[in-house]
Structure formats: C-alpha cells, structure tokens
Amino acid sequence: MAEYIKRRHSSLGSHSFQEQKKKDFEEQKRFILYLILDYTKNHNLQLTYETLKKEAQLNEQFVVCDNIDLELIFQEFQSYYNMKYQRDAKIIRKLTEKSSTIVQKTQSAGKVRSLEHNNTSKNYDKHEHLTESKTEDFSFQIVPIGLQTKFTMTDDRKNWYANSDRQYKPLTDFPGYTEEWKEMADQIIKQFVPKTLGISWNDCMGLEEPIELLKEATIYPLQYTELFQNITSWNGILLYGPPGTGKTLLAKALACESDTYFINVTSSTFVSKWRGDSEKMIKVMFDLAKYYAPTTIFIDEIDALLSESKEGNHEASCRFKSELLIQMDGLLSNNNQVFLLATTNSPWKLDKALLRRFEKRILIPIPNFETKMQMLKNFAKWNIDNRNDLTRLVQITDNFSGSDIKNVCKELEMRLIREQLKNINENKKVGLRRNPSLEDIISAIKTVKPSLNDDYYKKILHWHQHHGSN
C-alpha cells in the first residue's frame, strides 16, 4: 500500500510538472509578444502596434520592465553568439529567386481568395439573391416580405452580413477580464466552428419545418430587424428523435448558413479535475457568447451532460446543472442575441427544469415516402418512375432513418465497384460502371439493417405527444 501511494504521488507530481512546463512555455511566447509590442510603440509604428495588440489580445495593464527591451536582448544575443562561435550571428538572409517566386505565388493566391470572398459577400445582399430559390447562400423563400412590404435590412446589418470573415474581438476588452478568465476563454474559442463545412439547408432533406424554426430564431431577427423590434424569437430549441435523422446535420447547416458565431459544446470541454472549474467554464462560455453576439451555442447529445436529477447524483453534477440553468435563464430574460440549440436521442432523460428553458421542442422523425425517394435519387443517382416499385421500396425500408438510407446507397455503390474490381482482376481492364437496377437496391436494403426498432420509436412519439411543440 505504501509503495502504491508513493507511485501515485510520483505520478501526480510528474503530471503537475508537465502542466507547469507547458504553462511556462505559453507564458514565454506571450513575453515575446509584449517585447515586440513595446518595440513598435517606442519606434512610432502605430498601425503595427494597434494591430498586434488586437490580434494577440495583449492587455494594456502589463508593460515591459524598465531594464528590459528588445534591442538590449538582441545585443546580448549577438555578444553571446560571437563569444561562443567566434563569428557574428546571421539574422536575415536574402531570398533566392525560387524562394521569392514561391512567396509571391502564395501572396497572390491569398489575394485571389480574399477578392473572391469579398465579391461573394458584396453580392450577398442584392435583391435577386433574396428572390431566387436556387441561391447557394440562403435557400429559404422570403419573396412575400421582400416584395410586398417595405421592410429591408438596415445599413449596419448589411455591412455586418457583408463582413462574413469577421475577426474575433480582443478578449482584453471584456469587462470582467482576468488571466484565469482568459485561460478558460481560450479553451472555449477552440470550440468555435468555422463556416467551411460545406453544408447547406438543401442537404437536410425532408426537414423543412425545423429549418424554418431555426431561421426564425437565428437568421430572420438579424436580417429583418424591423419585424422583431418588440418581440424576441426562440432563444432555445431542442431537437429530439431517433439517431441518424439529421439533428446534428441541421446544426452543421446552421453553422454554415447563419452569420452568427457558432460554439460547438462537447462534454470534454467542461471536464476538470479541479473543484468548481466546470461551473466557471459554463459561465465563461456564456460570457463569450454574449461578448461575440450574435452567437449560437450548440450542445450535441445534451442528455449526456444533463440527465434527470436523482438522489444519487454527484454534488459536482448538481452544481454544473444549476449553473447551466442559471445561465439559460439569463438568455430567456434578456434579448442579447444568444441562441441555444441542443439535440438528444432520449428526451425523457432530461430534467424537467431544463426542458422548460427550451421554448421549442421539435421532433425530427424518420423520413417519409417522398424523403426516402429523394434520398435514394440524390445519394444513389438512381431514377425510377414505376409507382409499384417505389411502394415496394418504401415498405422494405420501414424504420430506416436518413443515415440508414445513406448507408444503403453506400452499399449499392460498393456492390457496383466490386463488379468493376472483379472485371479488372479477370480482364485486366476497367469497364464502365453500369446503372443500378431495382434488384440491386433491394439487395442492398436487405444487407443494411435499420438502426431503430418499433418500441423505441413508439416511446419517442409518446413523449412527443405530451412534451413536443411542433
């Protein structure tokens, strides 16, 4: 036992040493930034000074000590280098013609991407983009509002939408800024989702109603502020339903389609060995959401974080849940342009107090007849007009989710590829891939089993009848 305790203490000490070493390394990098900032200030490089202070998020409460400056450190380094190697240190070098070409190409490519992005952003608020249904940026129909009323975007909102490549505001401008708060804020910022996922509303087939509700909560209030002057839209939406029906896909589409900062919350973000840190992380997350508003907070599988309260619940779990509920109450009571989106496969596990904070609870069902056909045509590139064949396919895909349908299409594609591979092995040539037949699709469907059963889906529908709001 004594040996175990000794090894345990040794392990904890080693872990603590590694954490301290990592913290010291990060602190050294920040010291270098402050040295550069001081140098730019002393040499009247005002634009560089302001840009560095903003991008590096340097706090004006800290300055370089009186006996330290970058020039002095540089001179001491040169003296040390000369003493050790008997020659002067070479600090800069001239680029070769090849290296210069590479740099120029890289800069040119960056300018081209920037111009393309700016052109796209500038065209974003044109009237035809609101009336055409084939637009890539927004596929929702807003023609009646745009044509029949006088409501338009404000100039500030137009500029805000056009600047889709926004930079983060410096954390040092936050009213409650501290070094401890900044460390936690840096961890939360890593959970911000970029708009490069390449997913649009069109990818969410058969989910028109939840899409419209998400737009009501996040897009319309920002785009048509006149309509929402005296009313607030939904601050919290819970998406529930069987796995594989498109709940997370909707969240990804929202991250790409809306011009809000999107925070993807995972349980690992809030796990800490220190007492009280998880609750602090929750508060910091909501602080950041309000600071960078408009913001969307997305919690996937929220039942894993917040299940229904029981007598055996751990004290830390109760404190965590209490802090989240308090912060959610703050969203409901104030119009601060922060929207909370969550998903779950088991809504009955959620605490009743938590459910009350979600103003809209939306069922994401398994796909219906038309959606299944749309998925088959989209994923398998397959067309059939025979009504009897379509009915037969729907019957044998009973209880199939959207993810199951996609797996069927993958299985179908792999069957056709196997035929090509067999042809390559036998004839040493690649033949053209044939079009799939009805028998191929039926065979693929029989191979892929549905991911949910009748009892589970009946339980979902029963909960929806008593607690759903769509």
Taking each helix axis from N to C end, the angle separating 387-396 and 438-447, rounded to the nearest 10 degrees, works out to: 10
Ranked by mean pLDDT, the top range of 263-267, 336-340, 443-447 is 443-447
Question: Domains plus CATH for the chain?
Answer: 2-85 (no CATH), 159-363 (3.40.50.300), 369-451 (1.10.8.60)
Residues 99, 103, 106, 112: is their CA dihedral positive or negative?
negative
With residues binned 3-state (H G I as helix, E B as strand, rest as coil), the percentages for the chain, rounded to 5, are 60, 5, 35
Cβ 324 vs Cβ 282: under 8 Å = yes
Q: Residue 62: phi, psi to the nearest 5?
A: -110, 135
Question: What's residue 280's pLDDT?
Answer: 84
pLDDT at res. 385: 65
Question: Residue 92 pLDDT more than 50?
Answer: yes
pLDDT single digits (tens) 95-134: 776 655 554 544 544 444 444 444 444 444 444 443 333 3
To the nearest whole percent, how much of the chain has pLDDT over 70?
A: 75
Give the pLDDT of residue 165. 43
**Residue 47 DSSP class:** H
Distance CA 273, CA 282 (A): 15
Q: How far apart are CA 278 and CA 319, in angstroms?
A: 9
Based on the number of CB atoms within 10 Å of its own CB, is 346 exposed (0-12), middle (13-18) or buried (19 or more)?
middle
Q: In the structure, what pLDDT confidence band is assigned to residue 249 with cuts at 50, 70 and 90?
A: very high
What is the band of 79 on the pLDDT scale with cuts at 50, 70, 90?
confident
- Give the range with max mean pLDDT: 373-377, 387-391, 453-457: 453-457
Residues 6+ apart with CB under 8 A from 68: 35
| pLDDT, greater one: 66 or 300 | 300
- SS3 state of residue 39: helix
pLDDT of res. 107: 52
- Checking if the pLDDT of 138 tops 80, the result is no
372, 394 in Cβ contact below 8 A? yes
Mind listing the pLDDT tens digit for each residue in 325-359?
A: 888 887 766 667 888 899 999 999 888 888 888 88
More confident residue, 266 or 464: 464
What is the C-alpha separation between 205 and 213, in angstroms, rounded? Answer: 15
In the predicted model, is pLDDT for residue 166 greater than 90? no
Q: Residue 212: which H helix or E strand, with range?
A: helix 208-218
Give the alpha-carbon dihedral of 114, 117, 121, 122, to 10 degrees: 60
Is residue 438 over pLDDT 90?
no
pLDDT tier at 240, thresholds 50, 70, 90 = very high
Residue 247 to residue 363: CA distance in whole angstroms: 9
- Beginning with the edge strand found earlier in the chain, give each strand of the sheet holding 236-240 in spatial order: 261-265, 295-299, 338-344, 236-240, 360-363
Residue 344: per-residue pLDDT: 92
* Whether residue 35 has pLDDT greater than 70: yes
Q: How confident is the model at residue 250 (pLDDT cuts 50, 70, 90)?
A: very high
Q: Which residues contact 304 (CB under 8 A, 6 or more apart)?
A: 267
- Rounded to 5 degrees, φ, ψ at 350 are -80, 150
Cα separation, 291 vs 295, whole angstroms: 9
Q: How far apart are CA 46 and CA 49, in angstroms?
A: 5
Q: What pLDDT does 364 receive? A: 92
Examine the pLDDT at 160 and tell me if it is beyond 70: no
- Torsion sign over Cα 329, 330, 332, 338: negative
Q: Is the pLDDT of residue 146 over 60?
A: no
pLDDT class of 309 with cuts at 50, 70, 90: low
Say which residues have a Cβ less than 8 Å from residue 132's Cβ, sequence separation at least 6.
none
Model pLDDT, residue 307: 66
Residue count of the chain, please give it.
470
- Alpha helical stretches, state H, 428-453: 438-447
To which H or E segment does residue 163 belong? Answer: none
d(CA 47, CA 32): 19
